[in-house]
Amino acid sequence: MLARLSLGRLRGTKAGCSQFRSRPAALTAAGCIGWSYLCLKAPVHCSNQVTPVAPKPLALNKEVAQGDGQGGVGSPEKVIVAQSIAALLFRYAEVAFHLGPVIAWWLLGSMPVIGTFFSRERMLAMLVDALANCGPVGIKWGQWASTRFDIFDDDFCDTLGKLTNFAPAHSFEWSRECLETSFGRKLDDVFIEFDPEAVASGSIGQVHMATLRSDNSLVAVKVQHPNLAKRLALDMAILRQLAQVAAWLAPGWRISETADQFATNFEAQLDFRDEAENLRAFKRNFDSSFWRAIVSFPKPVEGLIAHDVLVESFESGESVANFLGRCGSRAGGSWHLTNKGWVMVGASEDDTSELRANIALCGIQSYFKMMIWDNLLHADLHPGNVLIRLEDVDPLGRLMRYIVLGDSSSRVPHIVFLDAGLAASFPQEIFAHIHSFFQAVVSYDGETIGKSILALGLTQPHVRSHAAFIEEVAQKCAAQKREYDAGGGKAGDNMRSYLESVRAHQVIIHPSVMVAVMSMLVLEGWQFRLDPAVSVFTCLESATGDGIFGYVSRLSRCVTELRGRLGL
């Protein structure tokens, strides 16, 4: 079964915000008391063994938490509760220990006069170390923040980008033990060579290079970090408790739901067998001569797939994160309307300009194919998970590339999507409206956009007036059209504008749709840094309706369906 992903949203209302502000300051103390109470009510089962984590493994039921009424001081239930409370309190102290100095440095740096002695560069370096030491949740947040140049300052994003591929690594001894336990074979029986140094480390696991004994092929071995389930359970307990307190203080916000969904999504990455199945599905979806020349995914090695270990083909290339760090961002220019359409004039030029444009174009078109045509979306598209390399194209691929792109080069840029542990799919009743939504975006049909957004939630019990929401969206769409005609506008900004209306009118959007939106914003972030001259809107036009990528995608889907019916 594919690892499904859902992501909630934080929705605030005017009533909720005013209710939050109107509560007396004394509720802060009450909140602390409630926080402590929740800590006592949410014992955690912890062990020294890495085991699968259920979506909500943290809270014991009421009977177990209180005991059966007959157990003494040393009853098993009370021992478990005491151990869980101790573990939680220790984790609270550990997080405070790591983040406390960063917060103190930031506060001191914000003060007049004395702030000059507390540099921002040092504070950011401390933040990277603190997030890394906080464990998987801290690392994951840092990776997300490093892509959000639209929210945070450049130096903030650049510094946190160090967490993309170089999260703390575990020992080689653990990798050996985990691999031998998972496969029931000695390391030397599986591999001729095994690099004890990890080539990359992330929030969930790390990657070693190795050579298979069976066929001498070079592979990447992904090994889960030790005690990950235990640490994740503690972090998720803290997150859920904080969310419950926040939800009590601000009932108009759906904070508790968002925290639950984030926790479930993060826990979904703990089984590498799901990632292997996702890789197989992506390979099927991109298994045409045209797409194989543009995009590829690692191939799992059958027989060497387990819960905590995944062996897959080694993919060479340079990550987009490293490329941007080495070559920097391309400075944009201004858009001008020509007889060939909108063209950016004045953008910086260097020997990487063509490569940048090809990578950005292929990345965006691949994303739209996943979302609009395949209904299977890679949901972790930060720049560290995207490799780029030059690759030879076979004659058929060159012909198709010439028909679609007008380029018959024999050696072209190629991108590889890594880390497919998170994959999102829309329910069929939602997927039916995805294409109409993007078709309306392309045609600037504001009324249809508004109706499609309402249809992207299974129910809309909180929307007071559908007509008012549709009218507001239509007005924003008209303003965006005028901005676009004047050579301005950005797809991500347009999407965020619509989300403001969604929050204001309390529209419920299915979590899978929010995953797609957030993935697009992350992708647009590094695409814009690669080449701001590549228009997401133009790519969307090509991927939908009568666009050439739409034709290619429809043809690929028809071929896939025909093969299925013929049993090929």
CB 305 within 8 A of CB 447: no
> What is the second-level CATH architecture of the domain 172-226+268-286+295-313?
2-Layer Sandwich (3.30)
Q: Is the pLDDT of residue 466 over 80?
A: yes
CB 361 within 8 A of CB 528: no
Categorize the per-residue pLDDT at 499 as very low, low, confident or very high, splitting at 50, 70 and 90. confident
Categorize the per-residue pLDDT at 63 as very low, low, confident or very high, splitting at 50, 70 and 90. very low
**Which range is most confident: 91-95, 181-185, 521-525?**
181-185
Q: Is the pLDDT of residue 270 over 70?
A: yes
Helix (H, G, I), strand (E, B) or coil at 338: strand
Task: Output the six-digit token pair for 431.
Answer: 């997927």
Which of these, 372, 379, 334, 332, lies nearest to 530 by C-alpha position?
332
pLDDT, position 260: 66
pLDDT, position 261: 62
What residue spans of 250-394 are helical by DSSP H? 255-267, 272-285, 289-292, 320-327, 353-368
Q: How far is CA 120 from the centre of its chain?
A: 27
Token pair 């984030």 in the structure block, residue: 262
pLDDT, position 34: 40
Categorize the per-residue pLDDT at 564 as very low, low, confident or very high, splitting at 50, 70 and 90. low
Q: Is the pLDDT of residue 314 over 90?
A: yes
Q: How many Cα atoms sit within 13 Å of 209 on the Cβ side?
A: 9
More confident position, 563 or 430:
430
Please tell me the distance from the alpha carbon of residue 517 to that of residue 151, in angstroms, as a whole number: 16
pLDDT, position 248: 73
Q: What is the pLDDT of residues 78-136, one digit of tens each?
A: 444 555 777 778 888 888 888 889 888 988 888 888 878 888 889 899 989 888 888 77
Categorize the per-residue pLDDT at 2 as very low, low, confident or very high, splitting at 50, 70 and 90. very low
Helix (H, G, I), strand (E, B) or coil at 288: coil
Q: At 144, phi and psi to the nearest 5?
A: -65, -45
Q: Is the pLDDT of residue 333 over 60?
A: no
Which of these, 520, 525, 512, 165, lies nearest to 366 by C-alpha position?
520
Looking at the chain, the whole-number percentage of residues with pLDDT higher than 70 is: 68
Categorize the per-residue pLDDT at 467 as very low, low, confident or very high, splitting at 50, 70 and 90. very high
pLDDT, position 508: 83
When pLDDT is averaged across residues 381-405 and rounded to a whole number, the result is 78
Q: What is the pLDDT of residues 432-451, one digit of tens each?
A: 888 788 888 888 899 999 99
Please tell me the distance from the alpha carbon of residue 80 to that of residue 328, in angstroms, as a whole number: 53
pLDDT, position 181: 95
Categorize the per-residue pLDDT at 557 as very low, low, confident or very high, splitting at 50, 70 and 90. low
pLDDT, position 147: 60
When pLDDT is averaged across residues 48-52 and rounded to a whole number, the result is 32
More confident position, 551 or 257:
257
pLDDT, position 176: 96
pLDDT, position 263: 67
> In sequence order, what are the residues at sequence separation of 6 or more whose Cβ sits closer than 8 angstroms to the Cβ of residue 215?
none
pLDDT, position 365: 84
Q: How far is CA 327 from CA 162, 317, 322, 414, in A?
A: 16, 15, 8, 18
> In sequence order, what are the residues at sequence separation of 6 or more whose Cβ sits closer than 8 angstroms to the Cβ of residue 568?
none
Categorize the per-residue pLDDT at 58 as very low, low, confident or very high, splitting at 50, 70 and 90. very low
First-residue to last-residue Cα distance in the chain: 22
Length of the chain in residues, anyone? 568
Q: Is the pLDDT of residue 309 over 70?
A: yes
Categorize the per-residue pLDDT at 546 as very low, low, confident or very high, splitting at 50, 70 and 90. low
Task: Output the six-digit token pair for 265.
Answer: 């999504």
pLDDT, position 495: 80
Q: What does pLDDT average to over the chain?
A: 74
pLDDT, position 55: 33
381-403 in b/e form (b: 16+ CB < 10 A) is: bbbbbbbbeebebeeebbebbee
Domain ranges of the chain: 14-163, 172-226+268-286+295-313, 318-423, 427-543
pLDDT, position 166: 60
CB 52 within 8 A of CB 307: yes
More confident position, 77 or 541:
541
Q: Is the pLDDT of residue 28 over 50?
A: no
Mean pLDDT check: name the lowest of 35-49, 145-159, 238-252, 409-423: 35-49
Task: Output the six-digit token pair for 401.
Answer: 């590339």
When pLDDT is averaged across residues 512-534 and rounded to a whole number, the result is 78
